[in-house]
């Protein structure tokens, strides 16, 4: 069953993924598709996370190679980035980086993520 923890994990993993290039907005329709639930259920869970202060409404636009795009959805707040789920997602990403790139332990990558400019700015 899809719950708040599962959806928050999705947002955390998307935000910390190094292949994400800073695009951390996920529409509710995508949450429903990934989690395998109805759009109503996804929106209800997202509303709970917004009420808890973990997500916020967000929008983004720009140009890709051929045409403009507009994305409307939700992203993590500062409070969401301070959650245990976010730290767990960073640790998982650090393990992947250590395995793929070498040159350090998962802990050294994790420390780098936690001390990055983005994290200091948000806390």
Domains of the chain in sequence order: 4-122 (1.10.10)
pTM score, whole prediction: 0.84
Residue 71's DSSP bridge partners are 60
- The whole-angstrom separation of Cα 19 and Cα 33 is 20
- The whole-angstrom separation of Cα 123 and Cα 120 is 5
The predicted-structure confidence for 30-48, as pLDDT tens digits, reads as follows 999 999 999 999 999 999 9
Which two tokens mark 35?
């989690």
Residue 70 phi, psi dihedral angles, 5° rounding? -135, 130
Provide the pLDDT confidence category of residue 123 given band limits of 50, 70 and 90.
Answer: very low
87-114 in b/e burial notation, b at 16+ Cβ within 10 A?
Answer: bebbbbbbeebbeeeeeeebeebbeebe
């Amino acid at each position: 069953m899809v719950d708040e923890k599962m959806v928050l994990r999705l947002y955390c993993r998307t935000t910390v993924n190094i292949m994400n290039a800073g695009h951390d907005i996920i529409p509710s329709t995508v949450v429903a598709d990934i989690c395998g639930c109805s759009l109503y259920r996804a929106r209800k869970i997202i509303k709970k996370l917004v009420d808890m202060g973990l997500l916020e409404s967000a929008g983004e636009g720009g140009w890709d190679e051929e045409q403009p795009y507009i994305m409307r959805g939700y992203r993590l707040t500062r409070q969401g980035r301070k959650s245990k789920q976010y730290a767990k997602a960073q640790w998982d990403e650090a393990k992947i980086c250590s395995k793929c790139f070498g040159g350090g332990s998962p802990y050294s990558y994790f420390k780098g993520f936690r001390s990055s400019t983005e994290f200091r700015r948000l806390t």
